[in-house]
Structure 1
């Protein structure tokens, strides 16, 4: 299929608008139950029932707990991903309304997870309904809407399972994470690094008899800070991560500049000591490492190992990567390294060009949104990237399946108290999702 006619586009937008109230009710029904990582069972059941209600051809829940709905019979599978777990509510005193009962007014819906990112799943479910009702799927395409689990704990774990164990590999995936009305073609990656330092304890009254692990770690942390903050001049001993934006150090510097430089920061610190009157005999830190294009888990670990202070303390220092092995709500354990690769698709990728063409035909050349956010969205580029991490780290980063992001809500609402989304975004995304397959050509 090629581009849609104006009459077909109008019919899609009209259908999406007609389901505004249904989508609002569906979203509020999901939010009503808490659904943090590994506790998503109620969310899955709510989504499963809605998929069956609106007429999906097949609905199933895989052993990990991901809920999947399918429409169409074509050979080319297009997937719409939305993680259905949320973070907790934090300090309840910071909320001006019940985060699970939520609220709605004429334009907004409030509640934990409405932007991050239950609204995207809602729009995708109703987009599939629209495609079926308007006959937009010929024998070429099959649509999969998947509500994925444990993303907040371990982004991408769900898609590792879907690709490796369910043996499902779509032609491409649309991530329905919030994009503030933009089309997002990439994100920085991240990894969770641990540094362990050994020491020798002794009585605190004679510290020279021991080997203080905390002091060793203090030296290492100074080098970590330098790695994040320094420039990349030839004379700089510890060249900063900004070097990856420099053609001299990174052949992929153009896309690195698009996504932004990597960062590293100490996020946690631990120690052991016989008492408060003793020298510490071990110290460990967690590092949050954000990666741009051209950086890998191997290069990031080696970068830490080559820091002067790390080399100075030799075998007393261990640099490693964390692992994740928390059971899903079904009890399934699927261990994985805490490495979440950078990914980006080119502007001229067929998925990207199809999405831009569909968006332009439906809505014009600027981002749109509810009146409250329209002005701030319009000045931002339509084609952009996420600041945070998504399931794209597995879909594209580990498995090479193209991903493009377009989802209701705002990044700034993610993990924040008094989280809201906009009803207009649900409608806009449902229309876009319904139109997109008609614009895609291999």
Structure 2
């Protein structure tokens, strides 16, 4: 392969990719409202000569390049989070901006830049005659990831009946190759009480006070050490061989966490004892933890046991319609996943990086010092569609994408033109390297 030719062709498309990304940023599109963004992406795919471009019933955009045997997918989600407090932005989040090196706007790093690079990576394959009978490339621009990561791929796999050889997530990786992430789940605790007049609280049974006891135990579960003397052993115990057969991968991914994220109450008035209280917990899971084990962990907390049948611990469900009106219910459980360091897919990405860019992370001048100090092979802190691709369905998944993880959901979000170009070259190269090694 002529790696310099691939990099040169990617550089030739810098202006086109910049325009495409800025066009996407200019169209607001939070979860379940991605239609106009996806129509713009469909037009770009058709302009660039994709062999087939279609929407599925959920609204995911599927663009195919080539007609070979192995299906290799590049995934990016089209939806963004909201802009938050607009006063925190130094520029209009939808108008965005660009200078010689940067592109600003909501969605630039998280994660429409990845879609842009994947679309043009496929175009470079076609330009340079890299497509052959060995592989077909699928570029997906998916929906509702910010609301329910992985829902889109559960639909693609189970209903569209699409099962790629492997999937590259184009979420931002700061120039690294990411081979996993902690999982997460959304837990709800409901506590019952009995109301009474606020002037005589002893006649009632205050649900908020019960919940306060439970929340103290939840905090201890997150903060405590794992030693035998601890009445509530902290989540750090999963990093120890004694408690977790998967402790080595757990140490790679990092320990799990739990925190209260929302609180609700019911009460007849502000002059009464609360007769109900509920909280949402954000639970991040490392290797070796499951949704069953996490629910049971909460159920066994001393305060939960103390209040017995007055406490219900459950997992949330997600059933919000997509922009097409389709409802595809799923549990709010997003499994941990990690692809082995010696997996054929991991080795193909590492070889691609070595051939194109050497053995250190690449990036713009403002980022390179931080990036170069980190290993090329690493993991995400946040969650991605990999929770379903590999976590639920065991399809190999790995990440390489433009932009920076710390820009996700932040005001003044930016990405870098250099990242778009580099990732497009990487994506164009990878399928040939993988198929040559795995015939």
TM-score range for the pair, normalised by the shorter chain length: over 0.9
Indicate whether 1:241 and 2:235 are aligned.
Answer: yes
Report the equivalent of 2:187: 193
> 2:95 maps to what in 1?
101
Q: Which residue of 225, 228, 234 maps to 2:219?
A: 225
Aligned to 2:251: 257
Q: Which residue of 1 aligns with 2:390?
A: 396
Q: 1:416 maps to which residue?
A: 410
> Residue 145 of structure 1 aligns to a residue in which SS?
strand
Counterpart residue number, 2:14: 20
Task: Give the CA deviation at 1:117.
Answer: 0.2
1:249 to partner: Cα distance: 0.1
Is residue 2:163 matched to residue 1:158? no
- Counterpart of 1:301 in structure 2 is 295
- In 1, the alpha carbon distance for the partners of 2:351 and 2:134 equals 20
* Larger mean Cα displacement after TM superposition, 365-374 or 143-152: 365-374
Q: Which residue is 2:343 aligned to?
A: 349
1:29-68 matched pairs, under 5 angstroms: 29-68=23-62
Q: Equivalents in 1 of 2:219, 2:234: separation in Å? A: 9
Partner of 2:313: 319
Partner of 1:10: 4
- What is aligned with 1:432? 426
Cα separation, 2, equivalents of 1:196 and 1:72: 52
CA shift digits 1:283-317 (9 cap, x unpaired) = 10000000000000000000000111111111110
- Name 2:400's counterpart in structure 1: 406
Asked if 1:122 is matched to 2:116, the reply is yes
Q: For 1:219 and 1:95, locate their aligned partners in 2 and report how far apart those are by CA, in whole Å.
A: 39
SS in structure 2 opposite 1:370?
coil
Alignment of 1:158-177 (within 5 A): 158-177=152-171
SS at match of 1:65: coil
Separation of aligned partners in 1, 2:75 and 2:410: 22
SS class of match (1:318): strand
Which digits, 9 at most, give the CA deviation of each residue in 1:317-351, with x for residues without a partner?
Answer: 00000111111111111111110000000100000
Task: Name the CA distance, whole Å, in 2 between partners of 1:417 and 1:60.
Answer: 33
What secondary structure sits across from 2:18 in the alignment? helix
Structure 2 CA distance for aligned equivalents of residues 423 and 202 of structure 1: 62
Residues 256-308 of structure 1 show CA distances to partners (whole Å, capped at 9, x for unaligned) of 00000000011111111111111110110000000000000000000000111
Distance in 1 separating the partners of 2:256 and 2:92:
37
2:280 is aligned with 1:286: yes
The whole-number CA distance in structure 2 between the counterparts of 1:304 and 1:119 is 39
Find out whether 1:277 has 2:277 as its counterpart.
no
Distance in 1 between the 2:82 and 2:270 partners? Answer: 34
Give 3-state SS (helix, strand or coil) of 2:294's partner: helix
Deviations along 1:336-375, one digit per CA (max 9) or x if unpaired, are: 1110000000100000000001100100000011111111
Aligned equivalents of 2:257 and 2:226: distance in 1? 14
C-alpha displacement of 1:222: 0.9
SS in 2 for 1:386: coil
1:105-144 deviation digits (Å, cap 9, x = unpaired): 1101011100000000000000000111111122010000
C-alpha deviation, 1:187, in angstroms:
0.3
Query: SS at 1:101's partner residue?
Result: coil
Map of 1:215 onto structure 2 = 209
> CA offsets, 1:185-205, max 9 Å, x none?
000000000000001111111
How far off its partner does 1:71 sit? 0.8
Q: Choose which of 304, 312, 321 in structure 2 pairs with 1:310.
A: 304
How many Å apart are 1:206 and its aligned residue? 1.4
Shift of 1:232: 1.0
**Structure 2, unaligned runs of 5 or more:** none
Normalised by the size of structure 1, how large is the TM-score? 0.98
- Displacement after TM superposition at 1:75 (Å): 1.6
Q: Deviation digits for residues 23-63 of structure 1, max 9, x if unmatched? A: 00111111111011000011110000000000100000111
Could you tell me how far apart the structure 2 residues matched to 1:266 and 1:217 are? 11
TM normalised by structure 2 equals 0.99
CA distance in 1, matches of 2:30, 2:66: 31
Aligned residues: 436
2:127 corresponds to 1:133: yes
RMSD: 0.7
Runs of 4+ off more than 4 Å: none
2:342 matches 1:337? no
* 2:63 match: secondary structure: strand
